[in-house]
Structure 1
Amino acid sequence: MKQGLSLRVSQHLALTPQLQQSIRLLQLSTLEMAQEVEQMLDENPFLDREEERAEREEFGLDQGDAQVSASEQIAEVASVAETDVDLTPQEGLQPSLTSSASNDSGSAETLESRIDGEAKLEESWDGDGSVEMAPDDGEWGGDAPARNNNSTGGDDDTATAAELAQCPVSLQDHLHEQARCLRLSETDQAALYFLIESLNDDGYLVDDWTELALAFWRLLHGRDALSPGIEAIEQAEEQLRTAIGWLHNMEPTGVGARDLGECLRLQIEELRNSPEARAALVICGQPLELIAKRDVKRLCAQCGLDDQTVRAALGLIAGLEPKPGRQFVDVERNVVVPDVIVTHAGRGFKVHLNAEVMPRLRVHDVYANAMRQNRGGKDGGGAAGHAAMQQRLQEARWFIKNIQQRFDTILRVSTAIVERQRNFFTHGELAMRPLVLREIADELGLHESTISRVTTAKYMATPFGTFELKYFFGSSLGTEAGGNASSTAVRALLKQLIAAEEPKKPLSDNQLSDLLKEQGIECARRTVAKYREALRIAPANLRKTL
């Protein structure tokens, strides 16, 4: 085999750490970006948060160190002396009458003595240790009223009650409060407590009954106990069945049910006296698919009821609560903070970044200057330690630069979107035009993947609400005039058509397709069904009112 040398020219893309960080920061959401900033602040000592300083006030700060004249001091002390006069009679003190001249001379001497005393105290406040002052606990909180725990009707009690009212009460806490009012044995109380803690967020017992009995037995006898026998499991199941009877009688009604049918039956049993309730109780014994589809004919045939009674019973069932624990769920509402804000500016629109989501970072000057002065490593760090610190300083600068580039790219893409979708910001979503990522990429000279990263998990506040940037991109549908209509506009039009339909005669997908064709939009029935499902709108048979 003969060996030789050859030259070959090729191109490849090498992603530097700075470029990798820039791409990663670009695709992060606002919350993820905030977490990334906090992590970098903890890890990199050269990175610091830039705090905004208030402007210096014209009065107060500039004149805080100004000298006060003697006449002003005398006037101030005189005003304080007038306000500090105690008009309450005290024991052992008799009122006396003196002439005005003696009062004036006495007050003048008092003022001079107080001014001299304040001047001496001011001279001794240089911290030289010549004056020793004992701490006086009476200076702290002298004007604060004493706290009375038994007081009623005070402001503190009102604030405490308001704070307690704002605290959400969980389903378990609500049920435990009712369980405390029951006089149960220790075993029954433990079984009821176990069932309450086994409920899910909707108020159902979804675990297997045998597994619940085994877990309850281990709760009573300890986890280290031997495996129970069949008799022990049956005894635990019997105790749980007794406890579940107590649980079914608690509020909210339907809690502790095993499935939806049992939950509905528990709620209907409270209204058993009415004919509709008795019919609804019979209907709940049928497959729930018939109730969901509102198949009145099959329900009449299987339950032996007339059409009017079945419709009244279905109306009663529709008013029940399928998830009893839903009202106690503390749902964490994620407030969407927009990255970009669009406002009216004359005849056009102004696009600007949201200052609340933009982190203000800077390089720590003290640490950076200290590292420059210690380049030789005289403090024992050596050349290796100085190189490592130099690398951390460079990472801090890269991070600040990449964050600025991230927001600049978001602003550029958002401005281009507003220019392309100007009709939307003027007339609403019905005026949305078709738009793809390639159009924005070609306009800004960026790659299509970059536009995709920018528009993911980034939000824009508009006069019509807050939308994700991807919302403004949509495919096109052909029209009879030869133009194109945005899929977003078609979905908005479908929503309007369905909202204006008659409740007793809802529009089918074929009818909706025909209505769109009448307006010049070519949209097949399957496309209408896909858009309707994306809008979470039920089909015509489920939208029909009884």
Structure 2
Amino acid sequence: MALVLQQRQEQSLLMTLELRQAIELLQYSTYELEQFIRQQELENPLIELKEKNTYEERLNQRSSSFGSSEMPDDLFPCTDRNMRDTLFEDAKFLYPDEHTQKLLNYLIYNLDDNGYLRVLDRDSAFYLEFDEDAINKGILLLQQVGPVGIGARNLKECLLLQITFIYPDNRLAAHLIEHHLNLLADHKWNEIALQMNIEMKVVKNLYDFIQTLNPRPCLFISNSSTEYLTPDIIVESKDDKLVFHLNDGYLPTIQITANYSQQLQSKSDVSKYIQTQYKNVQWLLSSIEQRRNTIIKIVQVLLEKQQSFFIDGFPSLKPLTLKEVADEIEMHESTVSRATSNKIIQTAFGSFELRLLFTSKLESADGTSISQTAVKTLLENFVAQENKFKPYSDQKIAEYFNSEKGITISRRTISKYREELNIPSSSKRKDIQV
């Protein structure tokens, strides 16, 4: 076999560093874009940022634009206070004994974010100094510092602690929690009445009482601070017409430092470096403008295609795919996908991820289509209005949607949507009928 050397011409697309960065830039939220711009200022000596306004000016501008003097949600400064530290400081004040403080310190810093004591390591040195009785005593001491129920090992213990400290005379409720908590969670009212030998009216009273107890007595202990969404796009109605603007007015203006302009013309090594950095600035400016124009084109299509949503809310959301929008603005579907990622749109009905306005469709009897989001809204409203003593099964709901709403949908799809909406099954939605 002879070896033959052949020359072949092929076309291939090589993704340059600039192209990859431009694609990445398209996916940034406005906040992420701001952070990227400020990082570029640190890396590129030619970039000089001019701030458009101060925090206070931005705050006043946003407040006046929304017709309110209150601080807008996305500008709330957040504080990070460790509530475990506060609990321990209170414990040290109440219990000056060093041995007790050591016990409570271990317990407090092993509480989860709901106030439960779940992560005790029985192989640790702690168990060489404190036995089970001492730990139980420490939990009782902890009750004097924090909310009642704190330090419980599970839900049952948490609820029983609250009854013990606050409602010691309600022995029937304590018995129900101690021996039949699973039946209570599954709404097995008849079995509870039979096993406890009580009337259904008493079961209902016990259930209503237990509902007043707190299953998460120390939810405030979480150290995570509240995150506030900054909208990237704001849609408003002015003179009965939908208008929008990009919420990027606070981004700093990118300018080129004048000191380096003369060195662009020379042929030194410094000049080559300056020219490279100059091209990077030009790319950055071009990519930001391209990102902005792409988002504007997409939102213009959304306002046209989803006009009913912006007027009436999610029940009127129409089926719409990324490809349909991409065809409308003559761009690739992947470009639209990237441009709509990580973006928040503010409407009269609240702020949402922009991607929520894209939804697949279900067929209806008259040949039209309805969005999955609209069907979920219908399901949520239907369950909210059903007879709580006789809630509908997933099969019954599917049959209702098919016969009364003309929406072709299966029982399995209803079950899937119900779980996505955190709606319990029919057996767990059933109320007590006295």
Pairwise TM-score range, normalised by the shorter structure:
0.7 to 0.9
SS at 2:294 equivalent = helix
For residue 215 of structure 2, the aligned residue among 313, 316, 322 is: 322
> In the aligned structure 2, how far is the partner of 1:352 from the partner of 1:515?
42
Q: Given the alignment of the two structures, is residue 261 of structure 1 paired with residue 148 of structure 2, yes or no?
A: no
Shift in CA distance, 255/305, structure 1 to aligned 2, threshold 3 Å: same
Shift in CA distance, 182/454, structure 1 to aligned 2, threshold 3 Å: same
The answer (yes or no) to whether the contact 1:169–1:328 under 8 Å persists in 2 is no
What is the root-mean-square deviation in Å for CA atoms of aligned residues? 2.7
- The number of residues matched between the two structures is 408
> In the aligned structure 2, how far is the partner of 1:187 from the partner of 1:457?
51
Aligned residue in 1 for 2:105: 193
For residue 372 of structure 1, the aligned residue among 249, 264, 287 is: 264
Unaligned runs of 5+ in 1: 55-165, 218-232, 378-382
Aligned residue in 2 for 1:478: 363
The answer (yes or no) to whether the contact 1:210–1:237 under 8 Å persists in 2 is no
Q: Spell out, residue by residue over 1:48-101, the C-alpha distance to the aligned partner (whole angstroms, 9 max, x if none).
A: 2133489xxxxxxxxxxxxxxxxxxxxxxxxxxxxxxxxxxxxxxxxxxxxxxx
Cα distance, 1:261 vs. partner? 1.0
Q: Spell out the pairing of 1:96-107 with structure 2 (5 A cutoff).
A: none
Aligned residue in 1 for 2:18: 18
Shift in CA distance, 246/209, structure 1 to aligned 2, threshold 3 Å: farther
Aligned residue in 1 for 2:138: 243
SS at 2:14 equivalent = coil
Q: Spell out, residue by residue over 1:162-184, the C-alpha distance to the aligned partner (whole angstroms, 9 max, x if none).
A: xxxx9786542443344244355
Q: Given the alignment of the two structures, is residue 283 of structure 1 paired with residue 176 of structure 2, yes or no?
A: yes
The answer (yes or no) to whether the contact 2:114–2:217 under 8 Å persists in 1 is yes
The answer (yes or no) to whether the contact 1:46–1:364 under 8 Å persists in 2 is yes
The answer (yes or no) to whether the contact 1:176–1:193 under 8 Å persists in 2 is yes
Shift in CA distance, 52/36, structure 1 to aligned 2, threshold 3 Å: closer
Aligned residue in 1 for 2:276: 391
> In the aligned structure 1, how far is the partner of 2:159 from the partner of 2:352?
38
Cα distance, 1:339 vs. partner? 1.4
2:373 partner amino acid:
T
The answer (yes or no) to whether the contact 1:280–1:313 under 8 Å persists in 2 is yes
The answer (yes or no) to whether the contact 2:231–2:345 under 8 Å persists in 1 is yes
Q: Given the alignment of the two structures, is residue 312 of structure 1 paired with residue 205 of structure 2, yes or no?
A: yes
Cα distance, 1:535 vs. partner? 1.9
Aligned residue in 1 for 2:120: 208
> In the aligned structure 2, how far is the partner of 1:238 from the partner of 1:270?
19
1:206 partner amino acid:
R
Aligned residue in 1 for 2:413: 527
The answer (yes or no) to whether the contact 2:264–2:274 under 8 Å persists in 1 is no
> In the aligned structure 2, how far is the partner of 1:198 from the partner of 1:456?
38
Unaligned runs of 5+ in 2: 55-77
> In the aligned structure 1, how far is the partner of 2:133 from the partner of 2:240?
75
Q: Spell out, residue by residue over 1:340-386, the C-alpha distance to the aligned partner (whole angstroms, 9 max, x if none).
A: 2222244542232113464422222223x14226x243xxxxx2x43
> In the aligned structure 2, how far is the partner of 1:183 from the partner of 1:437?
62
SS at 2:244 equivalent = strand
> In the aligned structure 2, how far is the partner of 1:53 from the partner of 1:203?
43
Q: Given the alignment of the two structures, is residue 353 of structure 1 paired with residue 246 of structure 2, yes or no?
A: yes
Q: Given the alignment of the two structures, is residue 509 of structure 1 paired with residue 402 of structure 2, yes or no?
A: no
Q: TM-score, normalised by structure 1?
A: 0.69
Q: Given the alignment of the two structures, is residue 300 of structure 1 paired with residue 193 of structure 2, yes or no?
A: yes
The answer (yes or no) to whether the contact 1:474–1:488 under 8 Å persists in 2 is yes
> In the aligned structure 1, how far is the partner of 2:264 from the partner of 2:273?
13
Aligned residue in 1 for 2:312: 427
The answer (yes or no) to whether the contact 1:263–1:322 under 8 Å persists in 2 is yes
Q: Given the alignment of the two structures, is residue 441 of structure 1 paired with residue 354 of structure 2, yes or no?
A: no
Cα distance, 1:234 vs. partner? 6.1
Cα distance, 1:257 vs. partner? 0.9
> In the aligned structure 1, how far is the partner of 2:117 from the partner of 2:325?
52
Aligned residue in 1 for 2:341: 456
Cα distance, 1:415 vs. partner? 0.9
> In the aligned structure 1, how far is the partner of 2:103 from the partner of 2:316?
61
> In the aligned structure 1, how far is the partner of 2:298 from the partner of 2:307?
14
> In the aligned structure 1, how far is the partner of 2:250 from the partner of 2:378?
34
> In the aligned structure 2, how far is the partner of 1:16 from the partner of 1:237?
64
SS at 1:210 equivalent = coil
Shift in CA distance, 334/482, structure 1 to aligned 2, threshold 3 Å: same
> In the aligned structure 2, how far is the partner of 1:20 from the partner of 1:168?
36
Q: TM-score, normalised by structure 2?
A: 0.85
Q: Spell out the pairing of 1:114-263 with structure 2 (5 A cutoff).
A: 170-208=82-120, 210-211=122-123, 214-216=124-126, 233=128, 239-263=134-158
SS at 2:210 equivalent = helix
Aligned residue in 1 for 2:226: 333
Q: Given the alignment of the two structures, is residue 29 of structure 1 paired with residue 21 of structure 2, yes or no?
A: no
1:470 partner amino acid:
R
Q: Given the alignment of the two structures, is residue 408 of structure 1 paired with residue 318 of structure 2, yes or no?
A: no
Shift in CA distance, 461/357, structure 1 to aligned 2, threshold 3 Å: farther
Cα distance, 1:397 vs. partner? 1.7
1:22 partner amino acid:
A
> In the aligned structure 2, how far is the partner of 1:467 from the partner of 1:478?
26
Cα distance, 1:483 vs. partner? 1.3
The answer (yes or no) to whether the contact 1:28–1:457 under 8 Å persists in 2 is yes
Q: Spell out, residue by residue over 1:119-176, the C-alpha distance to the aligned partner (whole angstroms, 9 max, x if none).
A: xxxxxxxxxxxxxxxxxxxxxxxxxxxxxxxxxxxxxxxxxxxxxxx97865424433
